[in-house]
Structure 1
């Protein structure tokens, strides 16, 4: 059986787990995994067979680096994270060398998903799920108006950039906080309205922020798998269950939301929907058109999300999959030796 060459560009550390899930696939398909990152000691590279460093490039120059890497190493499947939109824009360059890219090729959709303000407008038009009350602002005065509007509706308020990953830039407005106590305690996302207004007012305009109602119920991350045409094959709702515990559970209304998202947007391969409850109603936080940071935990449900996406991209038949009973899971650190007597034990360098 021919070995499949798979390439990950700059990813999070958890890509280490994705790589091993693909390598230890249930069909016994042999794979060779390549990965690049600016830091040759980055943990994601420890799951690769062949590792290399990435240059600090953007736009078409970065895409050309990836194309050259794929050509040199005869890559069959490219799973991008960094500069995903640029890579999707130039996907034909990868087609020309026989590399399949696991990315959404609908550029308008991809741009919309990656801008939370635009995506909320899109969801509002479709009506497929509930969104929080929100405003998009770019001046201090707009921020002030948005804040007072949401407070008048009875909401606690938070804000975050419209274009960001994870929790970067997320803040909760709390006018009861004690800055002195916080100075001696843990770093928190709390900020008072007056402080936020003062900081935002230091510039005439700033990158767009979403000012929105703070949702205070359970947060669910729904890991989803679709085929190349966007047909939903699997969905696993996952939430924190205290400490390091994670619970994968059947929530019919969340599984139905995943089905509607797939039907309307047809996002291919792996994607993730983040929802949070408020007053018993699940409301959208965001959608990530890629594998989520906790996907390896959802794979403990028995569904190998990374490998099945690869299998689908290679033209293999992937049947719809459901997990059985609810699964409570956790994780522990795994120590790895990086060097012995000064000799590196990292993967083989790229030629």
Structure 2
């Protein structure tokens, strides 16, 4: 049997763990890994069997590049991160080349999930899913109204763009402007004064939608999931204890909520759900319909999440072991020589 050719397009550096997990699969299945990235020092380019510099393209131009790459390299499985939603629109074109794409092919669903305002609107009436108090605003007047409403409910207020990954644009809003020398000389934080935000927003007639919401100050959990046809096949909640320390926890409430979300949205293969607790209640923060950056920690439970997803894609089935919970884990920096110089 020829090795199965897998291509990772540009993605986060921790995906190097997924390359190793796919190759070290329990079935001794053979894989050849291709990776592309626009940055020549990307770790993905160091760990792949074949690596190339990826051009800086978007939209249809990027799709054309992807199709050409799959055709030239006879790619069997494409695992996209960058431009995932756009790639989902053209899944049929990849299938015609003989390339299976590890992605939810419902691009409308991906667009909805990527916009937190749309996602919250979809989930607000779903049993067993609790949302933070929030407003979506596009003008300074709407921001002021949202801020006042949340403060009257007793919340500390925060905000972030409705789109985008991770913590980009996240700010906790202070009631008062801090003009002390200590604030100037201290570490940079995510806090900003209400007046500063309002002044910035007031200078714009309209701006891209912002989510203004209650600040959640409890433990954060990241739940890595594996699913097919609306059925949750495996899930591991990771409790972010402190710093880099995490606990793989059998949190029954979160596991049940993950089942509900899986049935409602029908996201296939690997995806990730994030929650933060407030007063003992887990509240939905976001959903990432792909492998998460920290999923490799969840794999310490004994579940090979990336390989299981490939099995589902290629074979339609996988055998998932019972996860081992109660594992405290962390990660560390390690030196590495760059042997591929582009």
Superposition TM-score tier, normalisation by shorter sequence? over 0.9
The answer on 1:111 being equivalent to 2:105 is no
2:184 counterpart of 1:183: yes
- Where does structure 1 lack aligned partners over 5 or more consecutive residues? 339-344
**Shift of residue 42 of structure 1?**
0.9
- How far, CA to CA, are the matches of 2:121 and 2:187 in structure 1? 36
Match of 2:196 in 1: 195
Structure-1 residue corresponding to 2:37: 37
- 2:299 aligned with 1:283: no
Residue number in structure 1 paired with 2:57: 57
Question: 2:302 touches 2:321 (CA, 8 Å); kept in 1?
Answer: no
Structure 2 distance, partners of 1:195, 1:10, is 36
Cα-to-partner distance string for 1:262-283 (whole Å, 9 max, x where unaligned): 1111100000000011111110
| SS, match of residue 160 in structure 1 | strand
Contact 1:128–1:261 (8 Å) recurs in 2: no
Partner of 1:210: 211
Which residue does the alignment assign to 1:9? 9
CA distance in 1, matches of 2:316, 2:288: 24
Distance in structure 1 (CA, Å) of the matches to 2:138 and 2:48:
42
Partners of 2:218 and 2:154 in 1: CA distance: 16
Q: Secondary structure at the match of 1:267?
A: coil
**Residue 21 of structure 1: aligned partner:** 21
Partner of 1:123: 123
Counterpart-to-counterpart distance in 1, 2:97 and 2:125? 39
The number of residues matched between the two structures is 341
| CA distance in 2 between partners of 1:107 and 1:101 (Å) | 13
CA distance in 1, matches of 2:270, 2:84: 14
- Write the deviation string for residues 105-143 of structure 1: whole angstroms up to 9, x where unpaired: 112211110100000000013334000000000111110
Shift of 1:176: 4.8
Kept in 1: contact 2:177–2:194 (CA 8 A) = no
Report SS of the residue matched to 1:263: helix
**Is 2:178–2:193's contact at 8 Å kept on the other side of the alignment?**
no
In structure 2, distance between residues paired with 1:16 and 1:202: 43
| Aligned residue number for residue 87 of structure 1 | 87
Equivalent residue for 1:346? 340
Bigger Cα displacement from structure 2, 268-277 vs 329-338:
329-338
Measure how far apart 1:316 and its partner are. 5.3
Note if contact 2:176-2:194 (Cα within 8 Å) is conserved in structure 1. Answer: no
Structure 1 position 55, deviation (Å): 1.1
Q: Is the 8 A contact 2:230 2:264 kept in 1?
A: no
Contact 1:22–1:307 (CA<8 Å) still a contact in 2?
A: yes
State the partner residue of 1:247: 247
Please provide the CA RMSD for this pair. Answer: 1.4
In structure 2, the residue corresponding to 1:14 is in which secondary structure? helix
Q: Distance in 1 between matches of 2:30 and 2:198?
A: 56
**Is the 8 Å Cα contact of residues 173 and 192 (structure 1) preserved in structure 2?**
yes
For the 8 Å contact 2:86–2:107, the answer to whether it is kept is: no
Work out the CA distance in 2 between the residues paired with 1:98 and 1:230.
Answer: 25
TM-score if structure 2 supplies the norm length?
0.96
- Following the alignment from structure 1 to structure 2, what is the Cα–Cα distance between the partners of residues 291 and 177? 39
